[in-house]
């Protein structure tokens, strides 16, 4: 399971500053269990956005947003509502947001931060990865995670070492920042590259103390080696 929590509403509404209409997408998997993006939270978000003067063109909750095939099939009946929306707000973990951004040709914004559980993984088999940084940056990067797509986890742009689109550290990997640049360009959002990115707050990357005292966290830890007598 991946734990997520909703971003402050002020941050979400700032993302939508230039957008008049929005489609809200939730996840019936981990986000529903986390209380951050299930049917209830999607409905609540719709009301809050409407009260804030945004037109919500539609909503949908899909079983696992980390599965791109489910995203595409789940949204088949929502084509008109999606077309009408300037952006899609996704209430789920960073993997789900990335999968949605890859699956549909729309502006996709994260509505949640993914919280570190100290190692839990599960549920998806796609190529998207999330480092559970607790301060999701996908709004600025076209829905591609800079922490996992870039070998150096750079959050403020490319290192300049890429060669023909491949990473200078791992030539078998695409340069994550070239992927981000190409995505932003394709979606008409190149101005995002000028966003000032704050340094990561590493306190948010660590599992929270309350998580570290749960049985689930204890079960995730490697067994300690017995000392030889």
Binding residues (CB under 6 A) for ligand SF4: these are: 94, 98, 113-114, 130-133, 136-138, 145, 147, 150-152, 154, 158-159, 161-162, 167-169, 175-177
Q: Say which residue the tokens 């309350």 belong to.
A: 210
Beta bridge partners of 24: 59, 89
Cβ contact 132:116 at 8 Å: yes
Q: Which of 56, 179 has the CB closer to ligand SF4?
A: 179
Q: Which of 57, 183 has the CB closer to ligand SF4?
A: 183
Indicate the SS3 state at residue 29: coil
Looking at residue 173, the DSSP 8-state letter turns out to be S
What minimum distance in Å lies between the beta carbon of 39 and ligand SF4?
22
What minimum distance in Å lies between the beta carbon of 202 and ligand SF4?
12
Cβ contact 150:200 at 8 Å: no
Cβ contacts of residue 199 below 8 Å, gap of 6+?
none
Q: Which of 42, 180 has the CB closer to ligand SF4?
A: 180
Q: Which of 23, 139 has the CB closer to ligand SF4?
A: 139
What minimum distance in Å lies between the beta carbon of 167 and ligand SF4?
3
What minimum distance in Å lies between the beta carbon of 122 and ligand SF4?
15
CA 51 to chain centre: 25
Cβ contacts of residue 47 below 8 Å, gap of 6+?
none
Q: Which of 56, 115 has the CB closer to ligand SF4?
A: 115
Cα gap 190→107, rounded to integer Å: 12
Cα gap 179→115, rounded to integer Å: 25
What minimum distance in Å lies between the beta carbon of 115 and ligand SF4?
9
Q: Which of 16, 56 has the CB closer to ligand SF4?
A: 16
What minimum distance in Å lies between the beta carbon of 100 and ligand SF4?
12
């Amino acid at each position: 399971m991946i734990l997520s929590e909703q971003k402050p509403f002020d941050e979400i509404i700032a993302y939508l500053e230039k957008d008049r209409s929005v489609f809200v997408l939730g996840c019936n998997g981990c986000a529903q269990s986390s209380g951050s993006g299930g049917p209830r939270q999607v409905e609540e978000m719709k009301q809050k956005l409407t009260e804030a003067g945004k037109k919500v063109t539609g909503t949908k909750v899909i079983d696992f947003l980390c599965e791109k095939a489910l995203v595409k099939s789940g949204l088949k009946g929502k084509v008109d509502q999606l077309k009408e929306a300037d952006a899609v707000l996704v209430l789920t973990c960073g993997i789900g947001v990335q999968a949605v951004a890859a699956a549909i040709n729309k502006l996709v914004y994260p509505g949640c931060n993914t919280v570190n559980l100290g190692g839990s993984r599960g549920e998806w088999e796609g190529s998207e990865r999330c480092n559970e940084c607790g301060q999701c940056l996908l709004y600025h990067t076209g829905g591609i995670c800079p922490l996992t797509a870039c070998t150096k986890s750079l959050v403020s742009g490319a290192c300049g070492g890429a060669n023909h689109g491949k990473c200078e550290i791992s030539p078998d990997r695409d340069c994550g920042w070239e992927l981000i640049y190409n995505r932003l360009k394709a979606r008409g959002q190149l101005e995002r590259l000028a966003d000032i990115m704050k340094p990561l707050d590493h306190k948010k990357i660590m599992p929270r103390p309350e998580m570290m005292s749960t049985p689930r966290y204890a079960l995730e830890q490697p067994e300690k080696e017995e000392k030889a007598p």
